[in-house]
Amino acid sequence: MVFSSLRCIDCGHMYGIDRSRYRCDRCGGLLEVTHEFGDQLYDFRKRGVWKYRYLIHPALPESLTVSRNEGATTMYRSDRVSQYAGISLHLKHDGENPTGSFKDRGMTVAVSEALRLGMKRTVCASTGNTAASAASYSAVAGMECTVYVPAGKVSQSKMAQTLAYGARVVEVDGTFDNALEESLDLVEDGSYTLNSINPWRVEGQKTVLYEILECMSDVDIISVPAGNLGNTSAIGKAIMELDTLGLLKKVPRLVAVQAEGAAPFYRMWVEHSESISRVEPVTVASAIRIGNPVSWKKARRAIEYTSGTVVSVSDEEILEAKRCIDRAGIGCEPASAASVAGIRKMVQEGEISRDERVVAILTGNLLKDPMSPVGNKV
Ligand SMILES: Cc1ncc(COP(=O)(O)O)c(C=O)c1O
Ligand SMILES: N[C@@H](CCOP(=O)(O)O)C(=O)O
């Protein structure tokens, strides 16, 4: 028998997984899932996220799995992008997930958990990708989904996807951060939140690390675009758990890359601050236009554990990297290109040596946000 629990990352108080919980009743800290792992870690009958069932949700009955065969995405290596970055660079394309972003890795687990708990309605706030993913998986599970979005700030493609899957959309004046605050009212009323404040979302997003390691067990550096910081937290948690199990050849350095105009985590990191200060986010990369990232404590722990770092890049650097990735025939949405822009910057600043094995994660598909002015129309 394998057990899972929820633990407060601040005070360590433990909770069962008998009902939905996101924060500690005692101190308000974020919760994370803990597992007592058994001998079996992989389900080799499966491909993608659920191959790692025993590492992410061992207690989930298979019959309750809400899946669209997410995960098992491609790892590319492009000469063109490598030349641009100044180092041999591998690109893990999580924009190849069913709804076009990495969110599906977490959503399959969170919506399955919603079903296990008997929840009837889901809710999230979103800059677009979480919305599309939540809408899709909720529809598959037969649950009503409501999404809160910052009015006028979500790409048309993401909005079209979300509406097509049948979600109810509430537009909020303000930023993603305001939308997230408003969405919590529905959580009070019994809806299940599908944002990364939900610890089960984080569990699913750990799987990108397992897949990277299966391609490259001695990876030195993994870079990831950073907004609400759920993905940085998830990859860091996966690294910490595998390291504790003695299954890592080496601990890869995790690099979180923020857009200059939406970089509260970067600022906290370089200023060695004890806490994060909210900013009014401004960047062309709409997916990471986030000024008050929920998971900053989990993400900071991940960066510290891996001896990683936080980098910020300008909109120009993001768009230049996106253009290169697009022209390489691979393509991604603007926010995704931040991971490559961040590596290029680190190489230029001598923070990465040429023989290091580097993977940049591309988080969203090219068609997610096609309006950015980086094309060559004639
Ligand atoms: C395409 C894309 N990249 C990166 C991010 C940032 O991920 P996180 O919020 O987990 O830091 C998001 C959403 O937040 C996104 O939609
Ligand atoms: N970019 C995200 C922002 C929400 O992040 P989440 O990981 O907390 O759901 C989005 O696509 O909405």
Strand order of the β-sheet with 309-313 is: 75-77, 89-93, 358-362, 221-225, 253-259, 309-313
Q: Is 98 in the pocket of ligand 2 (CB under 6 A)?
A: no
User: In degrees rounded to 5, what are phi and psi of residue 34?
Assistant: -120, 145
Q: Any binding-site annotation on 228?
A: yes
The token duo for 220 is 């030195």
Query: Is 238 in contact with 35 (CB distance < 8 Å)?
Result: no
Is this model's pTM higher than 0.80 or not? Answer: yes
Does position 375 have pLDDT exceeding 60, yes or no? no
> What average pLDDT does range 202-230 have in this prediction?
98
The pLDDT score that the predictor gives to residue 1 is: 56
What domains appear along the chain, each with residue ranges and CATH number? 75-101+201-368 (3.40.50.1100)
The token duo for 106 is 């977490």
* Nearest CA owner, ligand 1 atom 12: 287
The token duo for 293 is 């990232």
The token duo for 326 is 């697009």
Q: Is 208 in the pocket of ligand 1 (CB under 6 A)?
A: no
The pLDDT score that the predictor gives to residue 378 is: 43
Q: Any binding-site annotation on 129?
A: yes
The CA distance from 208 to 211, in Å, is 5
Which residue, 68, 31, 47, is CA-closest to 165?
68
The pLDDT score that the predictor gives to residue 376 is: 47
* Percent residues over pLDDT 70 in the chain: 97
Dihedral class, residue 347 (left if φ above 0, else alpha if ψ from -120 to 50, else beta): alpha
The pLDDT score that the predictor gives to residue 370 is: 84
Dihedral class, residue 190 (left if φ above 0, else alpha if ψ from -120 to 50, else beta): left
What secondary structure does DSSP assign to 26-65, as a single string?
A: TT-PBEEEEE---S----TT--SGGGGHHHH-TTS-GGG-
Give me ligand 1 centre to Cα 94, in Å. 11
Query: Is 338 in contact with 313 (CB distance < 8 Å)?
Result: yes
Give me ligand 2 centre to Cα 377, in Å. 31
DSSP state of 25: T
ipTM score for this prediction: 0.99
Q: Is 126 in the pocket of ligand 2 (CB under 6 A)?
A: yes
Q: What is the 3-state secondary structure (H, E, C) of 68-137?
A: CCCCCCCEEECHHHHHHHCCCEEEEEHHHCCCCECHHHHHHHHHHHHHHCCCCEEEEECCCHHHHHHHHH
pLDDT level of residue 374 (50, 70, 90 thresholds): very low
Give me ligand 1 centre to Cα 34, in Å. 23
Q: Tell me the CA distances in angstroms from 319 to 93, 313, 314, 315, 316, one per residue in order.
A: 17, 10, 9, 6, 5
Query: Is 221 in contact with 239 (CB distance < 8 Å)?
Result: no
Q: Any binding-site annotation on 178?
A: no
- H or E stretch covering 252: none
Q: Any binding-site annotation on 227?
A: yes
User: In degrees rounded to 5, what are phi and psi of residue 233?
Assistant: -65, -40
Q: Give per-residue pLDDT as tens, 116-165.
A: 999 999 999 999 999 999 999 999 999 999 999 999 999 999 999 999 99
Does position 377 have pLDDT exceeding 60, yes or no? no
Q: Is 335 in the pocket of ligand 1 (CB under 6 A)?
A: yes
> What average pLDDT does range 260-282 have in this prediction?
98
| Ligand found nearest the CA of 339 | 1
